[in-house]
A and B are shown apart, each in its own frame.
Chain A
Amino acid sequence: MPSPTVPPAVHPGPSAAISEVPDALGRFGRYGGRYVPETLSAALEQLQAAYEDARADPAFAAELDQLLSAFVGRPTPLLFARRLTEYAGGAQIWFKREDLSHTGAHKINNTLGQGLLAIRMGKKRIIAETGAGQHGVATATACARFGLDCVVYMGSEDIRRQEPNVRSMRMMGAEVRPVESGSRTLRDAINEAMRDWMGSVETTHYIIGSVVGPHPFPRIVRDFQSVIGQETLLACRRDIGRLPDCVVACVGGGSNAAGMFYPLVDHASIRLVGVEAGGRSAKPGDHAASLSFGQPGILHGSLSYVLQDADGQTSDVHSVSAGLDYPGVGPEHSYWHDAGRVEYTSVTDEEALETFDLVARREGILPALETSHALAWAVKEASRRPANETIVVCLSGRGDKDAAEIARLRALQGAD
């Protein structure tokens, strides 16, 4: 519900209600809501109020805009991927270059916004979870910039496979706390961050890293990430001369996709595609494709598609990409899924790894393994579409963090 003083980012027409979510209880259709221990209720109310207040304050927007421009380097460019397009031999492939953002991924858009909210609420300690480490780095960066204390929870398996990001976080003064419970990945890191927050909620703000969690997080993160889609609309009109035919993004929790799609959902002509982690196979436990294979359930405070067993126990998941290795997804994606507005599909570990190599060699860009999932789908699809069509890929982040893990996997394969 846009506040009366600040116009919404997009101006939905009379028949374009798909963007008019969430409602006052944080519902995206039937999804979303706030399923949390009572201890957290007051802090979520406070966050909601602080966010409404900030939205009505032009000084907040001005400060954030200034940071996005001078600190992050926005707007990020839209690049025609000439040699990848030639390779696919069909539709034109364009990259929205979130990898060029300061810290190398879209995550910084959210952490700066939420960092400013924390300051408005008088909270001086920040906690966060991270999977790929990009959100952890972006949070550590915002905290260094703003002078806030920072603790990042990260599964020990992810600490191993995303080592360069762990080093960056520590260099910027963040404390990285390894999480040893469960599968030692993103889901367990969120559990641990929530537990910290249960005991620290009066002095601490939890900067959640995706469009997941209890209301108002899914909405706040979407709004802070919507700069991606807004810039994409402008750049397409300017550089391509029209709206794109198709826009694709990878979906872990779903924040780069939500930020890209939200400003576009009311443009009915644009085909929107979210790509989940298909992992090793379609068998339970072998992938992390909640929308493709899950059903509605509650995880981490909201109702959305989730991978769980018949008793409601969360399933183990797998992806080569730490940032997509999550058994849930943001509630707005579930809403778009059921409404048929966004198509969701999946790409396997192997396809993502092959596409990483392809894009490195043909475009001179190392994409994140998360992003490589969206790229893999885009290359396949471009080959089936005519040359006068355009596909925009949200190039959510750069892949330096993955280089060592990819080399290790290749060596293992070579040894087979």
Chain B
Amino acid sequence: MSRDDQPLAAVFASLAARGQKAVAPFITAGDPDLETTLQVIEALDRAGAAVCELGVPYSDPIADGPVIQASYTRALAAGFTLEGLFATVKQATSKVTMPILTMVSYSIIYRRGIDRFVADAVACGLAGMVVPDLPLEESDQLDTAARASGLALVRLVTPTTPAGRAEEIARRSTGFLYCVSVAGVTGARSELPDGLVERVAWLRTKTDVPVLVGFGVSTPQQVASVTAVADGAIVGSALVRRIGELAASGGKTAITAGVTQYVSELVTAARFHPHDRRDHTPGN
């Protein structure tokens, strides 16, 4: 594994040593406000989340379903800014060891300037980024800047990605590889698609970085079945919905308590199982 993704590599190595797969929660930065986001990050860390994906609100998120869209709209209406994001991440990284990644549209990175965005990300202690609207062909500039600064650039493979292209994406992903479970937008789904297990198993033979599955994963059962083969599960819309509902009804302590309970259950479900199909840990 390259030097670039050391914080993430260390996390995955220590999880493996403890017989635990990764739970990577996604939350929307600034929903309901950045102060709460900071508290939620701390709650995620305490609950045993391996990595936090911090969604950067964007006005036109074409890869997102209604739940995450609505959270972006709320955060922007509440005055979310990039300056606020970087300040919050800086505070968070001084309190928690869990690596924090941003999920951010390339529209936002491009507008700020690639080098400036990367410098800001490094300065506040981000471990890397997932850029859902940046395909392989357009990614050289950001890839170069990220590598030079030790930031992970997590890439996505989807069910519509042809095999040869999936191999190249897997090879070029740093930190981990994001395996999107379904062709579609983000959002909780009751069933995980057929063939997912085989696809993940195949992807794991194509890359040295861990493979995490996201889109549609929400229940402990789904986390258990996904992590029977993958190195971890990403849970987004279900958590974002919960935060939105708790913010509307119960207030801030209700949010952190609710997040802690939910994520703890997911972490328990992601314990290494004796019947696990895995035959090696990442990096071996």
Contact = CB atoms under 8 A, between A and B. Distances in A.
B254 interface: no
B46 interface: no
Interface residues of B, number: 43
A297 B107 contact: yes
B81 A198 contact: no
A39 B134 CA distance: 11
Interface string B112-145: 1000000000000000000011111110000000
B162 interface: yes
Nearest to B161: A38
A194 B135 contact: no
A25 interface: yes
B108 A181 contact: no
Contacts of B112: 311-312
A181 B69 contact: yes
Chain A, interface residues (CB within 8 Å), range: 20 to 34
Interface stretch (B54-62, B200-208, B223-231): B54-62
A300 B62 contact: yes
A299 B180 CA distance: 23
B106 A35 contact: yes
B156 interface: yes
A37 interface: yes
Nearest to B65: A195
A313 B59 contact: yes
Contact of A38 (B59, B169, B182): B169
A312 B138 contact: no
Contacts of B134: 35
B116 to A, nearest CB: 12
A35 to B, nearest CB: 5
Interface string A199-238: 1011000000000000000000000000000000000000
B158 interface: yes
B67 interface: no
20 contacts: A33-B138, A35-B107, A36-B135, A37-B132, A37-B158, A39-B184, A42-B161, A42-B162, A181-B69, A297-B110, A297-B111, A298-B107, A298-B111, A308-B107, A310-B111, A311-B81, A311-B108, A312-B58, A312-B105, A314-B107
Interface of B: 58-65, 69, 73, 76, 81-82, 105-112, 132-138, 155-162, 165, 169, 180, 182-185
CB-based closest 8 A-B pairs: A312-B111, A199-B184, A312-B108, A194-B62, A298-B107, A37-B63, A39-B158, A314-B59
Given A41-B160, A201-B183, A303-B110, 13 more contacts: A36-B62, A37-B133, A38-B180, A39-B160, A39-B180, A191-B61, A195-B62, A195-B64, A195-B65, A300-B60, A308-B107, A310-B111, A313-B76
